[in-house]
Amino acid sequence: MTSAAKASRARPANGRSGRRSAPGKDAALTPEAIVSCALELTQREGAGALTLRRIGQELGVDATAFYRHFRDKDDLVLACMDRIIEQSYERIAPAVDAADWRTVVTEIAAESWRTSAVYPAIYSVAFARTTGGPGERRMVELLLGSLSKLGLDREQTVGLYRFVVDSVLALCGMRAAMLGLPRELQEKDATAWSRIYAVLPQESYPATRGHADELAAITEDSIFASLVEAIVNAIENKAADVTASPRPRRRKA
């Protein structure tokens, strides 16, 4: 048998090289299984591992089976983020059941901070996106429903909702992006305050040199705690303004 004939016999019928999935395995594949695989893969190897080829290898199926459930990789990323949000909702549900807005805000913030470190690869690329999925819908309803009880008008309520979500996610996204870097780059950034700023010329940077030790000592956790405190205070002040302002009387018909 010639080399060409051997190659022809070894090549899969569909023209692709690589492992073929077992009969019926593609059909048994579910969106849930793909999302679970993607989350586990990115936790283990980072965002760069999230390719259709790798997912196919991990699940033992042809990579094209992916397209039966997701239009493209972006849809998969959003589905992964929504799974994270759904898990977060379930985790905080007992604590926020019939709770006041302060508990809802602080629980959502704390859980978002935690998950940004658990799933940094997905979080760093999807924290600013809108998934539209069931997990996000439940979380939106929880926070918006809680804030709507403050007595503000709808525009003010939505403004506070976006203030809470965007502020929390901004810091969570920064944390996830940093955790997604190689270890040596994380260390390089973490030591920049002591390596660079602490030795700047006093005459040119007196304020920076005067606060160098504090800059090096502050932690991400303390910054996030200050953010949540500021958010709660801002909501309290907005609610107090509404309570202090008398509502205009309705004119009699």
Residue 44 sits in a domain whose CATH number is 1.10.10
Query: Does residue 15 lie in a domain region?
Result: no
Q: What is the pLDDT of residue 6?
A: 42
Position of tokens 């594949």? 29
235 and 149 together in one domain: yes
Domain total of the chain: 2
251: helix, strand or coil: coil
Query: Does residue 65 lie in a domain region?
Result: yes
110 and 235 together in one domain: yes
Of 104, 112, 107, 110, the C-alpha closest to 148 is 104
Query: Would the pLDDT of 200 be above 60?
Result: yes
Q: Locate 119 and state its tokens.
A: 């799933």
Helices 220-244 and 154-179: crossing angle, nearest 10°? 180
Q: What's the rounded Cα separation, in Å, for the pair 27 and 110?
A: 39
Owning domain of residue 229: 92-241
Q: What's the rounded Cα separation, in Å, for the pair 27 and 30?
A: 8
CB 127 within 8 A of CB 116: yes
Farthest CA pair distance, the chain: 100
Q: Which amino acid is at 80?
A: C
23-40 per-position pLDDT tens digit: 445 556 899 999 999 999
Q: Which amino acid is at 13?
A: A
Task: Compute the average pLDDT of residues 160-168.
Answer: 98
213 and 139 together in one domain: yes
Residues 6+ apart with CB under 8 A from 31: 69, 70, 79
122-158 per-position pLDDT tens digit: 999 999 999 999 999 999 999 999 999 999 999 999 9
Q: What's the rounded Cα separation, in Å, for the pair 196 and 139?
A: 42
Q: Locate 52 and state its tokens.
A: 């259709």
96 and 63 together in one domain: no
Q: What is the pTM of this model?
A: 0.83
